[in-house]
Amino acid sequence: MIILGIDPAIRTTGYGVIRADNPASFTILDCGVIANSARLPHTECLRRLAGGIRELIDSFHPDCASIEEPFLGKNASTAIILGMARGAILTALAERQIPVYAYSPRSAKRSAVGNGGATKEQVARIMAVELGIEIEQIPLDSTDAIALAVCHAQLALRPALAEKMGKPL
C-alpha cells in the first residue's frame, strides 16, 4: 500500500510518501515540501499546491492519502487560509479519485513515534533511526506528513483497528 501523507499550509505544505506492506514495516519513498514564497498571492499558492499534489500522485500512484484534520485557532484569517490550502489539496486528490482520511496531529504522532506531543525534531530522529537514513534527508516540515501516513498505515493494515480510520473525506 502506498500512502501520501500531507500536512497542509499555504506557504510550506509538507508531504511524505510511504510504502507499507504491514503495520510494523514501512519505507519512505519520498518526503519534502511544496514551498511558496511569501510574495506570491494566495491564488498562485493554491495553483502550485494543487499542481504539486498532482505531480506526487503521478510519480507515486498512492492508494490513499492522509491529511491533518483542521484545527480551530484564535485567528479566523489563518483558519480561512488553511482551509483554502486544504481545499486545493483535496480537489487535486478527488480529481484522481484518491481516498483521503483525516487524523489529528496528536493521533498521527502517537501512532508514528508513541508520543502525541512529539516535536518535529523528535519525529525526524525516530523516523531516521527506524529507517536507517540520515536525519538530514527528512525536512522538518515533512515530519507531520510522514507521521500522518504511518498513522493511516497502522490502522488500515490492522483489520481490528480499521474502524478507527473513519470514512474517507
Distance CA 131, CA 144 (A): 16
pLDDT at 72: 66
- Strand residue runs (E) in 8-160: 12-22, 25-35, 64-68, 100-103
Q: Tell me the catalytic residues.
A: 7, 68, 141
pLDDT at 120: 82
pLDDT at 42: 96
Domains and CATH numbers, the chain: 2-165 (3.30.420.10)
| Beta carbons of 33 and 15 less than 8 angstroms apart | yes
- Does pLDDT of 136 surpass 90? no
Please report, for residues 2, 3, 104, 105, the alpha-carbon distance to residue 17 in angstroms, rounded to integers and kept in the order given: 7, 6, 18, 17
- Strand residue runs (E) in the chain: 2-7, 12-22, 25-35, 64-68, 100-103
pLDDT tens figures, 1-36: 999 999 999 999 999 999 998 877 888 999 999 999
Distance CA 2, CA 22 (A): 11
pLDDT tens figures, 78-134: 889 999 999 999 999 999 999 999 998 888 888 878 888 888 888 888 878 877 778
| Beta carbons of 62 and 4 less than 8 angstroms apart | yes
Average pLDDT over residues 58-80: 88
**Highest mean pLDDT of the ranges 47-61, 72-86, 115-129, 138-152:** 47-61
